[in-house]
């Protein structure tokens, strides 16, 4: 296999959608050359399931999404990719300068319309950004390229639209240039304001991401007192429940109703009680004076309980770093859930997907989850009324083929989108 080109790929205009969402959100993930993916385009709706057998790259796709989110928040490359060689396609051969790398990108839709971000990263001999392109339609708003390998910078050019068509300046090669634009662009011309608006939309769409993989073993033990913000492994679930139960009785009541549908036996309430040693213990109130501690619940029950709480809450409760300069009403939280159906029985996974579809309708939360088989989701989507209203199909479907041109854009963006990945 020839060496992978390390320049950003050219812009490909997307077909116009039915309208631009008010809140910026990521509507497509592109894995041009990333680990086991080549030329993959994954459409993302409000509630998306990435389905496929083991080895099809579902977890890899979530990892790429999370990496873009962290880069959008201003993290350095070395923090985001501690093992960059694992991201290089397996058969990618180095070029004459012994360089190898990978390419990822996304589309962020919002008030500015679809904005594409594509990034090329060199993994060896040194980890660095070697190409980045931000485009809106056919207009390139930002483009960077590595001109001098001896300098720790890339040459950047961004749209100006004034007396000079572009502005050129160096940017660091260890950060995402799009995230740095608000510090470098004055915003004096219409072109500069367009650049700033597109960059802000992309960063806001990317930043509010919560990667969640509940670990039942940690949830069974008492949770130490802390910040009251739920961690990705959900080991401090009981402590967070203590906070959410006190703060909003209405939301807690809705959460209890969801737990009642997914846990065995009668559930009158979900309790969190401080202990003398400073820890917090969680339990289910059975309504007859008996309580079942979290330590006695099954793995599926604990995972269901944790994921339901995540879908009912938001950035103020979850351990995420949203864009503080943008009002919460204009942001959307995206939950990345690897193994969404792991350990869940049919009723639990159907109930969880119904809840995700219902919450995503409100616009404040989106879900991207991986499952080994999504055939069960069709009937679930039809039950929610978010897709398959005619009864013909229950979920919008698209197929992403590794090594091919990728997936067609999914229809029914307001429903459940299923993307099938093949090894």
pLDDT digits (tens, 9 = 90+) for 363-409: 788 999 999 999 888 655 433 333 322 222 345 566 565 443 344 33
From CA 44, how far away is CA 292, in angstroms rounded?
A: 38
Q: Which two tokens stand for residue 134?
A: 């931000």
pLDDT of 135 higher than 70: yes
Strand order from edge to edge, sheet including 396-401: 209-212, 333-337, 365-371, 47-51, 416-422, 396-401
Q: Mean pLDDT of all residues in the chain?
A: 85
- Please tell me the least confidently modeled range out of 28-32, 95-99, 235-239: 95-99
**pLDDT tens, 50-73?**
999 999 999 999 999 999 999 999
- Please tell me the least confidently modeled range out of 6-10, 81-85, 107-111: 6-10
Nearest to 142 by CA among 158, 161, 121: 158
User: At 316, is the secondary structure helix, strand, or coil?
Assistant: coil
Give exposure, 46-71, as e/b (b: 16+ Cβ within 10 Å).
bbbbbbbeeebbbbbbbbbbbbbbbb
From CA 82, how far away is CA 275, in angstroms rounded?
A: 39
From CA 75, how far away is CA 115, in angstroms rounded?
A: 21
pLDDT of 304 higher than 70: yes
Predicted local distance difference test score (pLDDT) of residue 313: 86
From CA 421, how far away is CA 401, in angstroms rounded?
A: 6
From CA 120, how far away is CA 102, in angstroms rounded?
A: 6
From CA 241, how far away is CA 281, in angstroms rounded?
A: 10
More confident residue, 317 or 1: 317
Q: What is the Rg, in whole angstroms, of the alpha carbon atoms belonging to the chain?
A: 22
From CA 171, how far away is CA 243, in angstroms rounded?
A: 43
CA distance readout (Å), 350 to 106, 110, 297, 319, 353: 29, 30, 19, 26, 5
Contact 204, 326 (CB under 8 A): yes
How far from the centroid of its chain's Cα atoms is residue 36's Cα?
A: 19
pLDDT band at 100 (very low <50, low <70, confident <90, very high): very high
**pLDDT tens, 243-271?**
999 988 999 999 999 999 999 999 999 99
Predicted local distance difference test score (pLDDT) of residue 78: 96
pLDDT of 175 higher than 50: yes
Q: Which two tokens stand for residue 191?
A: 């072109």
From CA 241, how far away is CA 270, in angstroms rounded?
A: 8
Question: What are the φ and ψ backbone dihedral angles of 209, each rounded to 5 degrees?
Answer: -125, 135
Region 138-156: mean pLDDT is 92
**pLDDT tens, 318-328?**
877 765 555 55
From CA 177, how far away is CA 400, in angstroms rounded?
A: 28
DSSP structure string for 20-31: --SS-EEEEEEE
Question: What are the φ and ψ backbone dihedral angles of 25, each rounded to 5 degrees?
Answer: -155, 155
Give exposure, 396-405, as e/b (b: 16+ Cβ within 10 Å).
bbbbbbbeee
More confident residue, 164 or 141: 141
């Amino acid at each position: 296999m020839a060496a992978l080109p390390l320049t950003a790929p050219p812009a490909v205009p997307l077909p116009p959608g039915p309208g631009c969402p008010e809140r910026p959100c990521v509507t497509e993930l592109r894995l041009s050359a990333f680990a086991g993916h080549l030329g993959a385009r994954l459409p993302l709706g409000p509630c998306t399931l990435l389905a496929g057998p083991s080895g099809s790259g579902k977890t890899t796709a979530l990892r790429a999404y999370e990496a873009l989110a962290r880069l959008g928040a201003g993290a350095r490359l070395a923090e985001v990719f501690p093992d960059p060689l694992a991201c290089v396609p397996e058969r990618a051969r180095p070029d004459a300068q012994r360089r190898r790398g990978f390419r990822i990108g996304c589309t962020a839709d919002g008030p500015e319309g679809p904005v594409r971000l594509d990034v090329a990263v060199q993994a060896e001999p040194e980890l660095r950004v070697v190409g980045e392109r931000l485009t809106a339609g056919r207009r390139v708003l930002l483009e960077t390229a590595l001109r001098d390998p001896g300098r720790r910078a890339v040459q950047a050019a961004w749209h100006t639209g004034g007396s000079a068509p572009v502005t050129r300046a160096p940017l660091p090669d260890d950060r995402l240039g799009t995230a740095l634009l608000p510090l470098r662009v004055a915003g004096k011309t219409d072109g500069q304001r367009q650049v700033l608006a597109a960059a802000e939309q992309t960063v806001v769409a990317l930043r509010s991401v919560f990667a969640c993989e509940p670990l039942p073993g940690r949830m069974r033990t008492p949770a130490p007192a802390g910040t009251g913000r739920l961690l990705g492994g959900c080991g401090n679930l009981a402590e967070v429940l203590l906070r959410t139960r006190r703060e909003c009785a209405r939301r807690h009541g809705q959460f209890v109703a969801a737990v009642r549908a997914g846990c065995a036996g009668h559930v009158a309430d979900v309790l969190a009680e401080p202990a003398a040693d400073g820890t917090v213990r969680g339990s289910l109130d059975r309504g007859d004076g008996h309580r079942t501690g979290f330590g006695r619940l099954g793995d599926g029950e604990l995972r269901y309980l944790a994921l339901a709480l995540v879908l009912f809450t938001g950035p103020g409760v979850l351990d995420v770093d949203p864009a503080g300069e943008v009002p919460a009403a204009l942001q959307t939280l995206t939950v990345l859930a690897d193994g969404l159906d792991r350990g869940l029985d049919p009723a639990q996974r159907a109930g969880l997907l119904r809840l995700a579809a219902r919450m995503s309708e409100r616009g404040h939360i989106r879900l991207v989850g991986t499952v080994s088989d999504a055939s069960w989701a069709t009937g679930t989507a039809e039950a929610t009324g978010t897709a398959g209203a005619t009864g013909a199909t229950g979920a919008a479907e698209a197929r992403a083929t590794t090594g091919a041109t990728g997936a067609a854009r999914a229809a029914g963006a307001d429903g459940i989108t299923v993307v099938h990945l093949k090894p």
